[in-house]
Amino acid sequence: MSAPVRDHHIDPHIGLSDAQVRERTEEGLTNSLPPRSGRTTLQIVKDNVFTRINALLGVLFVLVMLTGSWINGAFGLLIIANSIIGIVQELRAKNTLDSLAVVGEAHPTVRRNGSERQVAQEEVVLDDIVTVTPGEQIVVDGVVAEARYLEVDESLLTGESDPVPKHEGDQVLSGSFVASGVGSYQATKVGADSYAGKLTAEAAKFSLVHSELQAGINSILKVITWILIPVGILTVFGQIRVGENNWQAVILSVTGALVPMIPEGLVLITSTAFALGVIRLGQRKCLVNELPAIEGLARVDVVCADKTGTLTENSMEFGTLHPLGSHSEAEALEALSQLASADPAPNSSMEAIRVGVGTAKVQWEVEQTQPFTSAKKWSGVSFASEGHWILGAPDVLIPATSDAGKQAQEIASTGLRVLLLASSDVPVTAEGAPGLVEPIALVVLEQRIRPDAAETLEFFRSQGVQVKVISGDNAESVGAVTRNLGMDSGEAIDARSITEADFAQTINDSHVFGRVTPQQKRAMVAALQNNGHTVAMTGDGVNDVLALKDADLGVAMGSGTAATRSVAKIVLLNDKFATLPYVVAEGRRVLGNIERVANLFLTKTVYSSIMAILVLLFALPFPFQPIHVTITGWFTIGIPAFLLSLPPNNERAKDNFVQRVMQFGFPAGLVVALASFVTYVAVRVPDGTEQQATQASTAALLALIMASTWVLAVVARPYEWWKILLILLPLVGYGLIFTLDFTQTIFMLDSSNVEAMSFAAVAGLIGATLIEILWWVLRSVTKSEKPVWMPKQERAAAAAQRRIEREARRTEKEAEGRVHESSRA
């Protein structure tokens, strides 16, 4: 809740007093935000208990319980299992997100009692004076109280990319961010009333609304729901038509037909896989702001990476100074110290200079300041008596053919960052600035290449993911860094030289770009997307915001600006570029494995539906009791599917999820149904005894189990030792169930008819053979290269990855232990 500004006379230099803050807090005039992970614990519980699947199973369970056949109600355990597993995993994901969000969120600086302090976003109150510097986000709506060359980028709100100058009294909206300059504003709307509050409420909805995968699964479930109703009604009439007058038997037959048609584990495994993805990434200090981002990870085939803060460490160090012409080193050092002293919000380059040369002992009087922007690539200060001084990119300020330009280019070609210190003949804020500049000195800054950058680039290359380095730095410098990393990327392209006609072609063909403006970064992302690529964009600076927002997957560094973190779908809180391969691998694991298990569940739904229809058409009693389809669903589909959803999967996701699943699931389900139904018809004795009916059902079940087990066998490929066990162990279990007397009694089976069981075995083997042929045909038609056995290299890579993960967890635990011990000490 909020109210209009009540006090227009808050001194911006002093801000609110502690008493005023307490008063506003007690009145509820704080910047209260919605839950970070969207849903409350109660909502998670309700959403996992009251589902369409649970409703269908619940009705059938109640009907079976009315018959008094408790063993046939075993499928009811699925309701409990589905709900508990879904609730536990989502609560774990929620806790992970909440804890990471606290670390990753912006902490605005407020001025209270004349001093500045950082507070949590929720602690900002109405009328607070909030100070801002470049890259910081406007967290609540307000009115500018102070402005020093303040420019605000409102592109996230209006779509207009040009920064808007802000002066005292101008309105600022939350959701925008500071492009350049410094200032402060008085909060006029907080909490749900602010634009940011509305944005946060939307962004915090952790859902699968825009997920192609979830949309596909939902469409499958809707079709199944509409099929269940008429099939259920027709099964009732069918059982009555064949002379079944016992209402309990009719209910058991209907339940036996409908329960296997419900893909009860598909929704559970999907939500569990996504939740585990969030948890696993959270363990790597990776915050997933939107759940569909995990799906996007699996589809990425181009990663656009910035150089600074991604391939190199974000911090820089002052290196060397090269005076030019007749100018002395002392003159250059004095000018640099004055520029550092005059900059109220230094960027990383100026901060390195400030640390390297120090601030001025006696400061020159400042008349005008021009803050640095990525578009201009220079900053400057006009002093009252000492003239106009410029610091920026040499290739922007002076001709490349000049002596200073050549020297700068030579240094940049080694991978170092080079800035030009120069004097100007016009004020820095003049319309023609920087005007005619006189080179004074070259300032060399050193950046360390991240030790894990080379391995990360190699991972992407091995996985068929293109890496394009897009930087605002000198192209020669960027090219030198990528060459040092072993990236075979060809010639580095200066983005200023790209013509509009050749832009799209150049972006798609080349891999390293320098002197890229924020608008060009955005256009590059669009050019790649228009060429059919799924683009991930990494960044940490205010110049990356637009491109991050437009990319299919925006990835921000945790130490980056608040603006980049707010628009990114994923935030690497540990600032490690090396985390990105694990992020991509996690997305592929989730999507690839869900598609794999969807094949299993759809096959089960198809063969169950076809069996029910065939029984109706041929006016036969339904062959299976609910307990029969329960044990088959658990041991051939459910449990194996859950385990198959967990291991690594490096296949890049493709579009048309439903179409691909149907290509295998429908014909495979048809084969399983025919194997079982033909067996049932062939061995059944019309008007036979109850024992003969049980023997026919047992034989039909054996044929169904054998054929459906081979569905599991082909879906599980490529094989590893544990997947072989996953296929064989259920068969051992089935062997015991079909041969031991007491298990046959419990599960209502009779395998004593050798002739019937032999026929079933042959039918099952034929079904398995047809499914094997189907797999090879689809592999050929779709040009899939999926191997039957896991390649040796992939096994070794997977083992190495597991060792690295174990070592990383051990190191983190040791580090946490040391921190804990030191805090106790």
**Is 193 considered catalytic here?**
no
DSSP state, residue 637:
I
**How many other C-beta atoms lie within 10 A of the C-beta of residue 721?**
9
Q: How far apart are CA 377 and CA 391, in angstroms?
A: 9
What DSSP line would sit under 293-312, residue for residue? HHHHHHH--EEEE-TBTTTB
Q: Does the CA dihedral 324-330-331-335 come out positive or negative? A: positive
What DSSP line would sit under 61-120, residue for residue? HHHHHHHT-SGGGGGGHHHHHHHHHHHHHHHHHHHHHHHHHHHHS---EEEETTEEEE--
> Which among 102, 78, 18, 85 has a CA at the least distance from the CA of 48?
85
Long-range CB contact pairs, 74-77, < 8 A, 24+: 74/626, 74/627, 74/630, 74/631, 75/259, 75/626, 75/629, 75/630, 75/633
Q: Catalytic pick from 141, 306, 540, 544? A: 306
How far does CA 358 lie from the centroid of its chain? 42
Q: How far apart are CA 485 and CA 452, in angstroms?
A: 10
Q: How far apart are CA 392 and CA 744, in angstroms?
A: 84
- Kindly list the distances between the CA atom of residue 628 and the CA atoms of 677, 680, 702, 734, 813, in Å, as whole numbers in the listed order: 15, 14, 10, 11, 47
Residue type, 752: S
CB contact set of 810 (below 8 Å; sequence gap of 6+): none
SS3 29: coil
Please report where in the chains the tokens 């909490």 appear, as a residue: 191
As given in the structure block, the two tokens for residue 711 are 């569905």
Contact call for residues 372 and 379 (beta carbons, < 8 A): yes
Catalytic residue positions?
Answer: 306
